[in-house]
A and B are shown apart, each in its own frame.
Chain A
C-alpha cells in the first residue's frame, strides 16, 4: 500500500545490486549483512566505519614509510598492505582488496614507484567505496523512517 516505501526499497535493492555488479563489493559484504538484525541495525555501518578509519590510518603510515626514496621501510609497508588486505577482505571491499594484491607484489620486489601508484589507487578506492556506502546507508535510513523494512537482497 505504501508506495513511497516500495519505491525506496526498490531503489535500495537496485543500488546494492549495482555495487556488486560494478565490483565494489563481493560476497563477504553479503555475509556481513546476514549478521545484522533488528536488534543490531547499525552493525554493517559500524564495521565499515572501522574499516575506513583503518584505511586512513594505514595509508598515512605507509605514505610516511615511502616518502624518502633513499630510505624506504618496505617491511613496514608490507605489514600495512597485509593488514589492509585482511580488513578489506573481511568487509567485502573487493576493489580495495584487489589493489592490495598488486600493492603486495610491488612491495615484494621493492618497487617504490609501483608502491606509490598502488597507494594512490588504494586511497582512491576506499574513498570511493565510502561515498557509495554512505549513499546506501542513507537509503536504508529513509526506508526505516518511512516505516518500511530493509529488503533482503539476493545477489547472484
Chain B
C-alpha cells in the first residue's frame, strides 16, 4: 500500500513539519521577538522574573523598585527559607507549577539570620530543577575570600551594596545576551536538522 511503501518518506515529512512548528513556536515567543531591540526600560516588555531575598525591609523596598524600574518582574522574600519555600525546595512541594514560576534570576543578600545567602546558593546549585538559574550575591562587605567562595560555589556575580541601577542593567544585559546566544544555537541546530531532512527527501526524489 501507499502508506507502507512510503513509510520512510512520511516519517521524514512529519519530522520536517514538526521541526518547522518548533521553529515557529520559538520565533513567536514574545520575549524572543524583542531580543534584538535595545534593552532600555522604555520599549521592552518584562523579560526577567527576579526572586530577591533580603532580611532588611529597607533593602527589600529598594531592590524591588530598582528591579521594577529595570523592567523586571519581581518577587521579594525576607529570608532564604522563604525563598526555598517559594521555589518548592523545602520538601513541602507547595509551589504552583514550574511554568508559572519561571524565575530567571535570584538575587540574595549574603548576611541573613538563619540561612545565609551562601547556604541558599549551595542549596540552589544542588537542585536539579533550579541549578541553571543564575544566583547573584549582594553584600555590604567587600571581603575577598567571601567573594571567591561564592563565585566558586557557582554564583553568577557578587554585587557590593548598595546596589546601583547600573549594576542591574549590566546584569540584565549579560543575562539576555547569554539567552540570545543560547537561542541562536537552538535555531541553528534546527536549521541543520531541517536541511538534513530536506536532503534526504531530495535523494528519495519527492
Q: Which of B42-50, B57-65, B174-182 contacts A (4 or more CB under 8 A)?
A: B57-65
- CA A54 – CA B161 in complex, angstroms? 18
Q: Which of A85-93, A107-115, A121-129, A132-140 contacts B (4 or more CB under 8 A)?
A: A85-93
Q: Which residues of B contact A43 (CB under 8 A)?
A: 65
CB distance from A128 to the nearest CB of B (A): 18
Q: Which residues of B contact A85 (CB under 8 A)?
A: 140
Q: Are B56 and A89 in contact (CB under 8 A)?
A: no
In the complex, whether B93 has a CB less than 8 A from a CB of chain A is no
Q: Are A47 and B58 in contact (CB under 8 A)?
A: yes
Q: Are B61 and A87 in contact (CB under 8 A)?
A: no
Contact-residue size bin, chain A (C-beta under 8 Å from the other chain): 20 to 34
- CA A44 – CA B106 in complex, angstroms? 25
- Contacts across chains A and B counted by CB atoms under 8 Å: 48
Partner of B164, one of A31, A51, A82, A87: A31
Q: Are A90 and B66 in contact (CB under 8 A)?
A: no
Q: Which residues of B contact A156 (CB under 8 A)?
A: none
- The residue of chain B having its C-beta at the shortest distance from the C-beta of A92 within the complex is B162
Q: Are A47 and B140 in contact (CB under 8 A)?
A: no
B-facing residues in A6-31 (Cβ within 8 Å): 28, 31
Q: State the main secondary structure of chain B at its contact with A.
A: helix
Q: Which residues of B contact A35 (CB under 8 A)?
A: 62, 65-66, 69, 165
In the complex, whether A50 has a CB less than 8 A from a CB of chain B is yes
Q: Are A90 and B161 in contact (CB under 8 A)?
A: yes
Q: Are A31 and B61 in contact (CB under 8 A)?
A: no
Contact-residue size bin, chain B (C-beta under 8 Å from the other chain): 10 to 19
A-facing residues in B46-84 (Cβ within 8 Å): 56-59, 61-62, 65-66, 69
Q: Are A54 and B58 in contact (CB under 8 A)?
A: yes
Q: Which residues of B contact A116 (CB under 8 A)?
A: none
Partner of A54, one of B57, B111, B113, B165: B57
CB distance from A56 to the nearest CB of B (A): 13
Q: Are B62 and A90 in contact (CB under 8 A)?
A: yes
Interface membership of chain A positions 49-63, coded 1 if the CB is closer than 8 angstroms to chain B and 0 otherwise: 011001000000000
Q: Are A82 and B58 in contact (CB under 8 A)?
A: no
CB distance from B63 to the nearest CB of A (A): 9
Q: List 9 A-B contacts (CB under 8 A).
A: A35-B62, A51-B58, A54-B56, A54-B58, A83-B56, A85-B140, A87-B58, A90-B58, A90-B162
The 6 closest A-B pairs by CB, nearest first: A87-B58, A90-B162, A35-B65, A86-B140, A51-B58, A50-B58
Which B positions have Cβ atoms within 8 angstroms of A? 56-59, 61-62, 65-66, 69, 111, 113, 140, 161-162, 164-165
Which A positions have Cβ atoms within 8 angstroms of B? 28, 31-32, 34-35, 40, 43, 46-47, 50-51, 54, 79, 82-83, 85-87, 89-91
